[in-house]
Structure 1
Amino acid sequence: MAMIPNDTLDACGLLCPLPVLKLRKRLKSLGIGEVIAMQADDPAAIIDVPHFCAESGHDLLSATDTDGVQTYLIRKTL
């Protein structure tokens, strides 16, 4: 069964560090346990998003890549 995110963020066309900065801002508006789906096409996001989640304590639930667009599912934990 597919997870339905509580929010989505389209960060395609943005370059480092903007995808992570926008993700951090959007996570602030979510409640604990809610999930956001973020799409990005910046090659640096492959490194930046998992690192951001590890450093900030949020759960990176999945990371997929389809035709150069990465989709991340992140659960807010704090």
Structure 2
Amino acid sequence: MSQLHSLPGRARPAQQAYVIELGEAQVGLVSRRADERDFTFIAASPAFRTLDGQRFASPGAAESAARRLARPYRHGPLRLAS
């Protein structure tokens, strides 16, 4: 999981965003504005479209959900949107 850049010098960034990765594949990202409590998942791959728009308490919770969803696909490569 990687954090996207925020503006330096602010006590609380206007928006937080994290890339959700499983192995080498970037499967989506989560983001929230400063006035939001939860992170919203944005799918980067059709295999994770079911999570698109779902809200999570933390980036780690979103990553766990993506891992659970990926289990049926373990024997084949993840296909990313092009």
Q: TM-score, length-normalised on structure 1?
A: 0.31
Which protein shows a greater Rg?
A: 2
Q: Which has the higher contact order (CA 8 A, sep 6+)?
A: 1
Q: TM-score, length-normalised on structure 2?
A: 0.30
